[in-house]
Structure 1
């Protein structure tokens, strides 16, 4: 059993009171590159990071659906260990050059300004465009997603004494 599956089962066991319909897991992933995943996960758990952006073209290239409002995902750290579970609460697709200050602030990284967000995301977008064989334009479609942390208990196996 993968760590993500074990963490999801831990979450479900905590939720299962017999009165609610249990949710399904959409997937697990980390924010940013592998090296910064742990630091970004800490921003999520603390409630500083409540939004994220991704490139619509990547979803299209990989034949994947964009996130759905209400879906659950496990966020992992740099070592692919589960850190928390989030639920998507809002979603919009807008051009990169129309992203607003509030969204940049809610992404929670850097100094939380639009200028800082554009600088950080431009690097990410350009690398993704290169990977999928597309060319960056300021109007590139961004999937702007809001989420909330619904579970952030440590994995049960991390509490065991060795």
Structure 2
């Protein structure tokens, strides 16, 4: 991840906004989705296509890192597998629920596979089984998740596409 490139990407986004837009004074994070390069690129492509408008993570990971939970208004620069910025999303809602309480509309918004709840459950059970090992936890159906909804607010102009706001 090249910090100079990421900061330039953020400044390019801010240049598209009015001077008094709340984002002008907002902090941002820069990260990729998933836990391996292929997944990072696959999920980023879904965001760019407008298919993926939600994500989730294990609350236990946030607690293990001592990190503050995301809040509505958070801006995230979505990175590809090589750490290059692709677009910016803004978190619109955050809620906590257990894995087994995730519903079909949220699974659809995550945008993965056939977008069904069955696919979401299978893919995320595998994902959390892999990733929770790093913090000494194991996947359980009642584990707490941090669920986020977001909207795509910026991508560079390419092939005549306008900026998104």
Q: Provide TM-score, normalisation by structure 2.
A: 0.87
Structure 1, residues 94-146: CA drift from partner, whole Å, max 9, x if none?
01011101100110011101111111111111122211001222100011100
User: Which stretches of structure 1, 4 residues or longer, exceed 6 Å deviation after superposition?
Assistant: none
d(CA) in 1 for partners of 2:16 and 2:97? 37
**Corresponding residue for 1:4?**
6
1:79: how far off? 1.3
Does the residue aligned with 2:15 lie in a helix, a strand or coil? helix
Q: 1:18 & 1:4 partners in 2: Cα distance?
A: 20
Look up the match of 1:20: 21
Q: Of the candidates 76, 79, 82, which is equivalent to residue 82 of structure 2?
A: 79
> 1:4, CA displacement in angstroms?
1.2
Q: Count how many residue pairs are aligned between Structure 1 and Structure 2.
A: 154
| Secondary structure at the counterpart of residue 14 of structure 1 | coil
Which of 65, 69, 74 is matched with 2:68 structurally? 65
Q: Which moved more, 1:91-100 or 1:18-27?
A: 18-27
Per-residue deviation, residues 71-113 of structure 1 (Å, max 9, x unmatched): 1010011111111000000111001011101100110011101
Distance 1:65 1:79 in 2: 26
Q: Which whole-Å CA distance do the structure 2 matches of 1:26 and 1:53 have between them? A: 18
C-alpha deviation, 1:154, in angstroms: 4.8
Alignment of 1:2-151 (within 5 A): 2-15=4-17, 17-21=18-22, 22-32=24-34, 33-151=36-154
Rounded Cα–Cα distance in structure 2 between residues aligned with 1:49 and 1:20: 25
Distance 1:152 1:6 in 2: 13
Q: Is the 8 A contact 1:83 1:154 kept in 2?
A: no
Seen in structure 2, the aligned counterparts of structure 1 residues 115 and 153 have a Cα distance that, compared at 3 Å, is same
Secondary structure at the residue paired with 1:87?
strand
Normalization by structure 1: what TM-score? 0.89
